[in-house]
Chain A
Amino acid sequence: MARTVLVVDDSAFMRNLLKQLLEDDHEVVGEAENGVEAVELYRELDPDVVTMDVVMPIRNGIEATSEIKSIDPDSSVIMCTSVGQEEKMREAVEAGADGYITKPFQKPNVLQAIDDVVGVEA
């Protein structure tokens, strides 16, 4: 079923790409370009799932994830990053991330990740 998604990425190009990729199956309800905006928009929109870039200006995705998780432990956050280092994946786990997609991603990966973390059923 369609989910509401908050897309967080400092790259306008990447936000566009994710929006296009998700538009048939889900609804992108907001876009943030840094970790601070991400937390603000999360409070405001309460999306089903967040796709979270890691390396962003002002506040990075790992910190933003920790904060979203502390606001709402039931939130679903999927890291979506070009960084595929094992150490960075451990940091993401500690921050509470539910999934980790490495860029460049393919559409089935992203859709599968969303189904896995929020469940297919309503």
Chain B
Amino acid sequence: MNLDVQSLRTFSRLAHSGAEEAAGSLTTLTGFDARVAVTKVEMATRADVEREFRERDLVTVHIGFSGAIEGQTVLAFDRDRAISLVDALVPGASDDPDSDLATSGLKELGNIMLGGFIDGWADFLGDGIDITTPTYVELDAGQSLQDVVDDSEFDTDGQFGAEVHDDADFGAEIDSNHVLAFRNHLETVDEEAGFYIYMLPTQDSVETIVDAAGDADDAIPVETFTSFSQMISEGAGQASEDLTAMTGIDTNVDVSRLSFVPVEGVPMELTDEARRGVVLEFSGTPSGYIAILFDPESAESVADALMPGMDADPEMRKSALQEIGNIVTSGFLDGWANSLETTIEISPPTYVDDIASAIVDPLVTELARTQDYAFLIDSAIATPDETFTCDIYALPDERELRAAFDQLAPEAN
């Protein structure tokens, strides 16, 4: 299967307008004034999405869909938010958040929001998409989305499987073929904590939409995205090892994602709190920008770890962070250069201590001069004991990245 940038744009637009519908429904039903902050097309695996649900303790409502396209949609929100939602939907019911009426309210909210999300896709394809009844899921550690979905849809009275799908391997099929996830972040005006709508189509379904929207000449085999995602994970892994070697503190890669977003969506992904770190420019195939950011506490912890027992002045601490930035960037990009059999030059780091969204704003603005959408690579490296977290954002030039993709998959040409 091949993917092209035109299709990715179509995906992004459909997902965004679907999320707009869903946000409108949320506002109508609960009075929470919601709007769509960012819509991302993620080259993520289903396991990545599940991990996010578990780690962030998200409560979810699932709806399966089939027909013109098939897969799963998920409405996810923080546990605390679930309680305030129940209160808005069914006043008083939040006293007993596990009651049938409380979960019924959440399920129906999911049904209405996700139903509205799907409508635009059906109309775009000029065909019908059937949706299943909603399932309420609290994902525990050790459970996978697939377990839950299979349990609810196939072990009950066959309410869903029998009519809509005749193969009981439906869940497994999604998993093995899953290549894209559409992630929509909805935020309310007063609070940062938000809602997420995920759409996880099957590979066949992605293909259906590519056929309707795409530009075959421009297409890149989907495996290329997968191998690039792999390359990003390896780069993040190397950066994590280098951080551990320098600081003497164990670190893990928490997140490593490749996504496709409207350029203006990138700064909106970041907080407006202060972050410290470095910004670097890289050039080669591809060129682009990278920002390595720490929250203020993490920046202090890292500087302390680099200069144990030293009473370093602020300039020295700044220099230590710059050096960390250099090393993390090299760890992150060296693997790319090797896989792509090219060299990627890295500029000296510029130290930053500013509003996070304002730090990436000039990087995105440079890209915006020639592109409407960007491939965003974001990774998070963290210590298990939460001593520090390091966020990495890389923004390669879109056309140069496509050239790099060609390098990864020469047989495609």
Q: Which residues of A contact B (CB under 8 A)?
A: 10-14, 16, 55-58, 81-88, 91, 102-104, 106
Q: Which residues of B contact A (CB under 8 A)?
A: 25, 28-29, 89-90, 100-101, 104-105, 107-108, 111-116, 118-119, 122-123, 126-133, 157, 159-160
Chain B at the A interface: mostly helix, strand, loop or mixed? Answer: helix
Contact B126 A87 (CB under 8 A): yes
* Assembled-state Cα–Cα distance A91/B128 (Å): 9
* Assembled-state Cα–Cα distance A83/B114 (Å): 9
Please give me the residue from chain B that is nearest to A14 by CB atom.
B108
* Assembled-state Cα–Cα distance A85/B112 (Å): 13
Are A85 and B111 CB-contacts (below 8 A) given A11-B104, A57-B157, A58-B157?
no
Contact B123 A103 (CB under 8 A): no
Contact A82 B116 (CB under 8 A): yes
* Assembled-state Cα–Cα distance A102/B115 (Å): 10
Are A87 and B122 CB-contacts (below 8 A) given A13-B90, A82-B116?
yes
Are A58 and B159 CB-contacts (below 8 A) given A16-B101, A83-B119, A106-B28?
yes
Q: Which of A58, A88, A103 contacts B112 (CB 8 A)?
A: A103
Please give me the residue from chain A that is nearest to B130 by CB atom.
A55
Contact B104 A81 (CB under 8 A): no
28 contacts between A and B (CB under 8 A): A11-B104, A11-B108, A11-B111, A13-B107, A13-B108, A14-B104, A14-B108, A16-B90, A55-B111, A55-B132, A57-B157, A57-B159, A57-B160, A82-B111, A82-B112, A82-B131, A83-B131, A84-B116, A84-B119, A85-B118, A85-B122, A85-B123, A86-B122, A86-B123, A88-B122, A103-B25, A104-B29, A106-B28
- Cβ contacts under 8 Å, B157 to chain A: 57-58
Q: Which of B25, B114, B126, B159 contacts A104 (CB 8 A)?
A: B25
Contact A87 B132 (CB under 8 A): no
Please give me the residue from chain A that is nearest to B160 by CB atom.
A57
**Closest Cβ–Cβ distance, residue B160 to chain A (whole Å):** 7
**Closest Cβ–Cβ distance, residue B220 to chain A (whole Å):** 30
- Cβ contacts under 8 Å, B29 to chain A: 104
* Assembled-state Cα–Cα distance A58/B161 (Å): 11
Contact A84 B115 (CB under 8 A): yes
* Assembled-state Cα–Cα distance A86/B126 (Å): 8
**Closest Cβ–Cβ distance, residue A114 to chain B (whole Å):** 20
Please give me the residue from chain A that is nearest to B121 by CB atom.
A85
* Assembled-state Cα–Cα distance A106/B29 (Å): 9
* Assembled-state Cα–Cα distance A91/B160 (Å): 19
- Cβ contacts under 8 Å, B113 to chain A: 82
